Amino acid sequence: MKNKKLNLVLLGLALVAPFALYPVFLMKVLCFALFACAFNLLLGYAGLLSFGHAVFLGTGSYVTGYLMLTYSITPEIGILAGVGASALLGLVYGKLAVKREGIYFAMVTLALAQLAFFFYLQAPFTGGEDGLQGVPRGELFGFIDLNNNLTMYYFVLAVFLFGFLLIQRTIHSPFGQVMKAIRENEPRAISLGYKVNQYKLLAFVLSATLAGLAGSTKALVFQLSSLTDVHWFMSGEVVLMTLLGGMGTLWGPVLGAGTIVSMQNFLASSPLANYIHVVMGVVFILCVLTFRNGMVGELQKLIRKNF
Amino acid sequence: MATIFGINLFALFGQLLVGLINGSFYALLALGLAIIFGLLKIINFSHGALYMLGAFGAYLGLNYLGIDYWWALVLVPIAVGALGILLERTLIRPIANEDHLYSLLLTFGIALILQGLFTHWFGSSGMPYAIPEELKGGTRLPFMYLPDYRAWIIVFSLSVCAVTWYIIEKTKLGAYLRAGTENPQLMQAFGINVPLIVTLTYGFGVGLAGLAGVLAAPVYSVSPEMGSNILIVVFAIVVIGGMGSIGGAILTGLAMGVVEGLTKYFYPEASTTVIFLVMVLVLLTKPAGLFGKEA
Amino acid sequence: MKLMRKTLIASALIAATGAAQAAEISDGKVKIGVLGDMGGVYADISGQGSVEAVKMAVEDFGGTVLGKPIEVVYADTQLKPDVGSTIARTWIEDEQVDVINGAVASSVTGAVTKVMTAAEKITLITASASHAFTTKACSPFNAHWTYDVVSLANGTVKPMVQSGKQKWFFITADYAFGHALESVASGVIKENGGEVLGAVRAPLGTTDFSSYILQAQSAGADVIALANAGTDMVNSLKTAAEFGVTDMVDVAGLLVFTPNAQALDPAIAGGMKLTTGFYWDMDEKTREWSERYMARMDGKIPAMPHAGAYSSTIHYLKAVEAAGTDDSKAVMAKMKEMPVEDFFSRNGYLRADGRMVHDMLQVRIKNADERSSDNDIFAIEKVIPGDEAFLPLEAGGCEFAMAMAKK
């Protein structure tokens, strides 16, 4: 009951936020929050650390960006195509990666992502280092003009909520329970007769699909697809967001993404601009040393202890 | 010119030799990384930054303290190693028993800080460092001109790799080391100071990175970015060789240098990617790497 | 007939009052946003130096224009196009920034100018090299200031081909900027009767150039041209020297910034010829400004983008004053009308397509024994008149500018 009230308050805040804060900034936060949530589904609930998740963000972004630029299609079709491409790539990469565990899984995903990075760098349709610029936002369903930042914001919010609720549903479904069981004790899950690799693959594909959704939406928000989205640094950033916010918690990645994006925005135009990497490094270290459970995780611990 | 199947053989030999030189750097860096992972189970993402620190150590030593190249080759690795020990004691030790993921993130944070500070202090254009007088000049081989300093890189780094491999795999000290990290309680019971061994091993591993940095200073630009560029390639090498396999890291380092050299000849655009292709192929066929043991 | 005349007068009156209303500064101040790379590979040639140069320009202008204060804000693009375009958007929509100065890396500049053009605001491009911003991707709101790839190729390549260096081989940075530089330079070589034997594309941030140098060497060229920048340029040149290539063939750096030239051992780089838009030690005027700059920047000498950032800011402010408004279209018209003449720009003017055409310098890197200090790095060989250095308007294919020229 309490939770429901809290959710309603948060939703209310999200609805009025663009009147207080700059909408494009909020949309950036939402896109990264969705990306981090998708990543968290894999790391926090299935226990798989992918170190190449940016590739799915980037694939969604490039496919949507390219189609919107080249053909006059509506944004929802563009997004669907981007998401489809990410899902497909997720299926292929997932098939290869889920056979491996732990650090090897991380390394296979990193290596596969590097191969995709090379493809996007060389492929003629991506514009190389320049990326795809001036991607049109178009008109949603052919009649809602997304060029207005406020309209676009509510569309992004809807996309985010869709992804977020899907993840919430997944976690609380029987499928989610099996995933958690695998994370906690894989041999036991196997002995119970679960086809562990199939579950992992499904989680991987779902995560890749949602990461692609974040990427497709991001391409429309910024009207741009670039190599930044597929670079391994982006893969590292999403780990940081998830960890900082609290992996394995529903709200952690959202909070983590919000914190990191705000920090980057704030630092970029402050006297500390020179120190942006230093500050990020310090956050990394503090986070690992002092609150490994992340902000939400530590908060939950605190509440559990005191109430 | 000698050609076969339309391939210029002289040019190809040149590329192979150059690949071997690069491979020596890879081997030296991969060795340090493999020691730290193999014995301590720490995924040291700050390895590249410490390599950069080694190169800057040589540069600063020469320009502010009057330490020449040869002294730098001795002193800088010790200094970098000492810094490594400090980092291990203060930051890495507290999370020794946590998931590997955390040491990876922690050392990644350290790398960001080091790189950020040096960019702030020295800019990003890179600092010049001259080749020492004794190693200037070169030899004209039938197929290419081999600078003396490049030859020195091969000889020196391979010697260091060989000695290190011998110490760890064949001597009593090495045996303590391996045993101390595999079964710390038992060794502690035998009266061996395991935490000290761990600290010293970490110091030695990053000292190797510092050494590679000094070795690189005269041939590559001494710049804050130099470490992050090479780091993930070296990571791939350690994984291909089999994480924790000392000999595997050395051999794979050399081999990947050669593979890269060949790629540069046939399809240069892909030279930074080919190692990852090899990595995917190896991990899919031999999960524990070429020389690793299946856990 | 009478009626028509009346309406004519009326509309003239309306137009006049409209102009009078526009003769104001929107929101009571002029805000200049400086976009740079603060901590990445181009921090030395844009970054804090550009911010400081713009601040100097504002101070020298008196801190106010048309009685209203001038404000400077700055931000780090981290060399990411998405970060750059977000900042540009926020600045325009949220912080009433009137003009952006700086922009480095063609990918970032491209994204930023798209946002600025859509918002009808001026971008003063002072660090980017690609000539696209005044040709294919030109915009009535772009002013490309310091230099571009064409002027570099014309300045460095042309005289070498004409002096008999016929066969060329390229080592090219494998991204948009490198490709543009290579293709423009190849064009210049062929036009002047030279021959391009081949090119090898090295990925950005390559640590070891020895294999590329070997390939270039075995091609049998007279000149090895380096179509790269920054650390890549430094590394490739050092490697060429080490492998004894510089003794046998000429190596031409197509884009060398002063901090890069300083980073190179004079024994290696000494004697190399290159083209630059500015050198701090050229004459009394450049020295006067540069010394003030150095006093603010811990003694670092200014690179050409820094001088360009100052020059473009002053010119912009003068145009605001002349136009009596900060309305972008009116200001841009004035900028294109007034000559650009200061310590940086000699015989300069802003062309219809947004290209600021000014004299470029062909310089030679000094050998160690010629240098009186660490900052004494270039000897000026020749001044290249702007119209010879830059691509002619007609050849650029910038549509709106061609249409304007036809009228």
* Per-residue model confidence as pLDDT tens digits over C41-70: 788 888 899 999 999 999 999 999 999 999
Task: Name the pLDDT band for C13 (thresholds 50, 70, 90).
Answer: very low
**pLDDT at residue C2 above 50?**
no
With contacts defined as CB-CB under 8 Å, which chain B residues touch A108? 279-280, 283-284
**CB-CB neighbours of C121 under 10 Å:** 20
Q: How many CA within 13 A on the CB side of residue A52? A: 27
Mean pLDDT of C64-83: 88
Mean pLDDT of A272-288: 81
Q: Give the integer Cα–Cα distance in Å for B65 and A99.
A: 54
Task: Name the pLDDT band for C188 (thresholds 50, 70, 90).
Answer: very high
The per-residue pLDDT for C244 is: 84
The rounded mean pLDDT for chain B is: 85
In a domain, residue A46? The reply is yes
**pLDDT at residue C36 above 50?**
yes
Least confident window among C110-119, C239-248, C351-360, C385-394? C239-248
Task: Name the pLDDT band for C38 (thresholds 50, 70, 90).
Answer: confident
Report the gap between the CA of B11 and the closest CA in chain A (Å): 26
Domain spans in chain C, listed from the N-terminal domain onward: 27-147+282-355, 152-276+361-387
The per-residue pLDDT for C40 is: 73
**Amino acid identity at C79:** L
The per-residue pLDDT for C153 is: 92
Tell me which residue in B124, B149, B265 faces C242 most closely, judged by beta carbons: B149
Residue of C48, C82, C113 best to disrupt the A interface, most CBs of A under 10 A:
C82
Share of chain A above pLDDT 70, in %: 97
**pLDDT at residue C282 above 80?**
yes
Domain spans in chain B, listed from the N-terminal domain onward: 20-130+151-285
Q: Do A274 and C177 touch (CB under 8 A)?
A: no
**pLDDT at residue C389 above 90?**
yes
- B127 vs A3, A35, B55, B133, CA distance in Å? 58, 39, 10, 18
Tokens of C343: 């310590």
In a domain, residue A248? The reply is no
Q: Is A127 helix (H, G, I), strand (E, B) or coil?
A: coil
Least confident window among A212-226, B268-282, C268-282? B268-282
**pLDDT at residue A77 above 60?**
yes
Pick the CATH number of B20-130+151-285 from 2.10.260, 1.10.3470, 3.40.50, 1.10.287: 1.10.3470
With contacts defined as CB-CB under 8 Å, which chain A residues touch B287? 99-100, 104
Mean pLDDT of C72-90: 86
The per-residue pLDDT for C17 is: 44
The per-residue pLDDT for B170 is: 86
- Residues of chain A contacting B, Cβ within 8 Å: 49, 96, 99-100, 102-104, 107-108, 110-112, 114-115, 117-118, 122, 232, 236, 239-240, 243, 274-285, 287-289, 292
**CB-CB neighbours of C1 under 10 Å:** 5
Task: Name the pLDDT band for C292 (thresholds 50, 70, 90).
Answer: very high
With contacts defined as CB-CB under 8 Å, which chain B residues touch C218? 8, 10-11, 14
Mean pLDDT of A221-248: 87
The per-residue pLDDT for A279 is: 85
Chains touching chain C through at least 3 C-beta pairs below 8 angstroms are: A, B
**pLDDT at residue C373 above 50?**
yes
Report the gap between the CA of C79 and the closest CA in chain A (Å): 9
Task: Name the pLDDT band for C191 (thresholds 50, 70, 90).
Answer: very high
CB B155 within 8 A of CB B17: no
Tokens of B168: 């760890």
The rounded mean pLDDT for chain C is: 88
Mean pLDDT of C86-109: 89
Q: Which CATH architecture describes the domain C152-276+361-387?
A: 3-Layer(aba) Sandwich (3.40)
Q: Give the integer Cα–Cα distance in Å for B202 and B33.
A: 9
Residue of chain B nearest A279, judged by CA positions: B113
**pLDDT at residue C247 above 60?**
yes
Q: Do C82 and A228 touch (CB under 8 A)?
A: yes
Model pLDDT for residues A19-51, shown as the tens digit of each residue: 878 888 899 999 999 999 999 999 988 888 898
**pLDDT at residue B295 above 60?**
no
**Amino acid identity at A25:** F
Whether the model pTM is above 0.80: yes
The residue behind tokens 């040639």 is C45
Between residues B8 and C128, the one the model is more confident about: C128
Task: Name the pLDDT band for C21 (thresholds 50, 70, 90).
Answer: very low
Task: Name the pLDDT band for A116 (thresholds 50, 70, 90).
Answer: very high
Strand locations in chain A (E): 132-133, 139-140, 144-145, 224-225
How far is it between the farthest Cα atoms of chain B? Answer: 67
Q: Do A268 and C83 touch (CB under 8 A)?
A: yes
Mean pLDDT of C141-169: 92
CB C52 within 8 A of CB C305: no
Residue of chain B nearest C212, judged by CA positions: B264
Q: Give the integer Cα–Cα distance in Å for C236 and A55.
A: 31
**pLDDT at residue A91 above 90?**
yes
Pick the CATH number of C27-147+282-355 from 3.40.50.2300, 3.20.20.80, 3.40.309.10, 3.30.70.141: 3.40.50.2300
Q: Give the integer Cα–Cα distance in Å for C163 and B74.
A: 49
Least confident window among A137-146, B180-189, C177-186? B180-189
Mean pLDDT of B184-199: 77
The per-residue pLDDT for B251 is: 93
**pLDDT at residue A85 above 60?**
yes
Q: Which residues constitute the domain of residue A212?
A: 21-230
Bridge partners (DSSP) listed for residue C71: C31
Q: Give the integer Cα–Cα distance in Å for B14 and C287.
A: 47
Q: What is the CA radius of gyration of chain C?
A: 22
**pLDDT at residue C16 above 50?**
no
Q: Give the integer Cα–Cα distance in Å for B260 and C92.
A: 47
With contacts defined as CB-CB under 8 Å, which chain A residues touch B105? 239-240, 243, 284, 287-288
**CB-CB neighbours of C264 under 10 Å:** 24
Model pLDDT for residues B192-214, shown as the tens digit of each residue: 777 788 888 889 999 999 999 99
**pLDDT at residue C243 above 50?**
yes
The per-residue pLDDT for A167 is: 93
Between residues B3 and C310, the one the model is more confident about: C310
Mean pLDDT of B94-122: 84
CB C68 within 8 A of CB C28: yes
Q: Do A276 and C106 touch (CB under 8 A)?
A: no
- Out of A274-278, B30-34, C206-210, the most confident range is B30-34
**pLDDT at residue A173 above 80?**
yes
**pLDDT at residue C195 above 90?**
yes
The per-residue pLDDT for A6 is: 79
Least confident window among A126-140, A220-234, A260-274? A260-274
Q: Is A1 helix (H, G, I), strand (E, B) or coil?
A: coil
The rounded mean pLDDT for chain A is: 87
Q: ipTM strictly over 0.95? A: no
Q: Which string of DSSP letters, residue by residue, matches A142-198? A: TTEETTSHHHHHHHHHHHHHHHHHHHHHHHHSHHHHHHHHHHH-HHHHHHTT--HHH
Burial group, residue C29, by CB count within 10 angstroms (0-12, 13-18, 19+): middle
**pLDDT at residue C189 above 90?**
yes
Task: Name the pLDDT band for C281 (thresholds 50, 70, 90).
Answer: very high
The per-residue pLDDT for B116 is: 87
Least confident window among B78-92, B96-110, B174-188, C278-292? B174-188
**pLDDT at residue B51 above 50?**
yes
Residue of B24, B121, B124, B149 best to disrupt the C interface, most CBs of C under 10 A:
B124
Mean pLDDT of C112-126: 93
Residues near A72 by beta carbon (within 8 Å), at least 6 away in sequence = A138
